Structure 1
Amino acid sequence: MEIKDLSEIQISLDEKNGFPVKFSSQQKKYDQITKDLVGLFGEIGEFSNLVKKINLKLEHGEKYDLNREQIEPLMREELADSFIYIIRIAAILDMDLETEVIKKIKTNEKRYSKLRDHE
């Protein structure tokens, strides 16, 4: 499945649930982007907190009670939640996320080419 397919599925579900991506004014559009950014930052915060807990476990071993096998599935869920918010924001901006990511990868390939080992 491609990013475009995922986006279409998510946006269709969002619209059915009353979360539109098309707005009658710039004010409403950017109000929604603001709300989605808050959601995205919340999900990133939850992901970050799980990473913090894993680092505490790695640093303190048995002194810190944490089951890493239970945490990693939660990390995947928070990262997926974050991606959903990115899909929504891209849709609100009428952006082809897949095209823009590919374009950015190519830019970064050139930008960081000097860091690669040249034999």
Structure 2
Amino acid sequence: MDKRIINPWKWQDERSYAQAIEVKRAESTLYCSGQTAVNADGQSSTGDMRDQLTEAIQNLEQVIDEAGFECKNIVRLNVFTTSSDELFSCFDIFQDWVTKHDIKQASTLLEVKGLFETLKVELEATVVK
């Protein structure tokens, strides 16, 4: 698989995403449902944004790992949140995770009126290999 990052500018680098990703000769593509802070028993978290973001990332990693893919090959990552302000107050967690896995992804961040039950953040990914 070949990936090419398209960034006509530099400003997006501080925000941990790319303007576009071209993928050629992919062996397989994994489309992940939105992952949230729901535990193994199906209970939605009542924690704060920091805790929920951490758990959503862990759940996304688990889905990707169990499918036999790698986080470094996430090419699209959409973020849905009930509060952009709350999310940006703990955005270091997201940026550290992206850096740790050397993820280069196209992203969209949307603030939504609500998510399921008590959830505050949802991560929807596309991964290739």
> How would you bin the TM-score normalised by the shorter chain?
under 0.3
Scaled by the length of structure 2, what TM-score is found?
0.22
Decide which structure has greater helix share.
Answer: 1
The structure that has the greater radius of gyration is: 1
Query: Which structure: greater strand fraction?
Result: 2
